[in-house]
């Protein structure tokens, strides 16, 4: 589960926001709860693919061709009826996330909406680059859904928009 996962940018987070014991997402949540910050348990199922697998290599090559270096690469599965509470991804991941929805066998398009508490939402039916530094959640998960997540940590969202705009010009 996500709570057992190491926080990739834990040292950076501790430097910028204050020290806490441990290095996992669960440790950070315990620390935040001790400070009065509410946090809900996450039920996502996570798997770490072999990044040298024949299905992953072409994606990494395409990103490289765009001058982008991937960070953490994971599969995330959310089960039907288990909405994802509003959260921020940092310090687990930072800046941008390429989300690739996977549709195969039991995994079909869903009515799930990725949303931001300050406005805006979208249904992911094709690859999307998401600003994971903004707090967000997922609601209306009516079917199990599976995504390949590829962190793009080197550019913030505004820099990413500009960078990709230069490739599309």
Say what the pLDDT of residue 107 is.
95
Largest CA distance in the chain: 49
Structural domains counted in the chain: 1
Instruction: Look at residues 153, 168, 113, 164 and name the one whose alpha carbon lies nearest to residue 12.
Output: 153
In a domain, 23, yes or no: no
Residue 124 sits in a domain of what CATH number? 2.60.120.620
In a domain, 4, yes or no: no
Structural domain including 52 reads 42-168
Residue 35 reports pLDDT greater than 90: no
Query: Does 94 reside within a domain?
Result: yes
| Mean pLDDT computed over 16-35 | 83
- Taking only the tens place, the pLDDT of each residue in 108-149 is 999 999 999 999 999 999 999 999 999 999 999 999 999 999
pLDDT at 19: 79
Residue 89 counted as domain residue: yes
Taking residue 136's Cβ as centre, other Cβ atoms within 10 Å add up to: 20
The answer to whether residues 122 and 128 touch, using CB atoms and an 8 Å cutoff, is yes
Per-residue pLDDT tens digits for 36-89: 777 777 778 889 999 999 999 999 999 999 999 999 999 999 999 999 999 889
Within a domain: 30:
no
Please indicate, yes or no, if residue 19 is contained in any of the structural domains: no
Residue 15 included in any domain = no
pLDDT of residue 62: 96
Label residue 169 by pLDDT band (50, 70, 90).
low
Q: Which range, of 20-24, 103-107, 144-148, 160-164, averages the lowest pLDDT?
A: 20-24
């Amino acid at each position: 589960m996500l709570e057992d996962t190491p926080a990739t940018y834990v040292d950076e987070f501790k430097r910028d926001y204050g020290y806490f014991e441990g290095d996992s997402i669960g440790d950070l949540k315990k620390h935040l709860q001790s400070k009065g910050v509410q946090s809900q348990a996450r039920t996502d199922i996570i798997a770490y693919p072999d990044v040298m697998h024949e299905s992953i290599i072409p994606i990494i090559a395409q990103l490289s061709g765009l001058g982008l270096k991937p960070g953490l690469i994971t599969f995330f599965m959310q089960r039907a009826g288990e909405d994802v509470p509003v959260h921020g991804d940092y310090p687990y991941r930072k800046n941008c996330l390429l989300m690739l929805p996977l549709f195969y066998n039991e995994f079909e398009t869903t009515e799930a909406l990725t949303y931001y508490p300050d406005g805006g939402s979208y249904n992911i039916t094709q690859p999307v680059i998401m600003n994971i530094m903004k707090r967000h959640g997922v609601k209306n998960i009516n079917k199990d859904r599976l995504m390949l997540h590829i962190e793009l940590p080197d550019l913030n969202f505004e820099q990413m928009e500009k960078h990709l705009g230069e490739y599309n010009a």
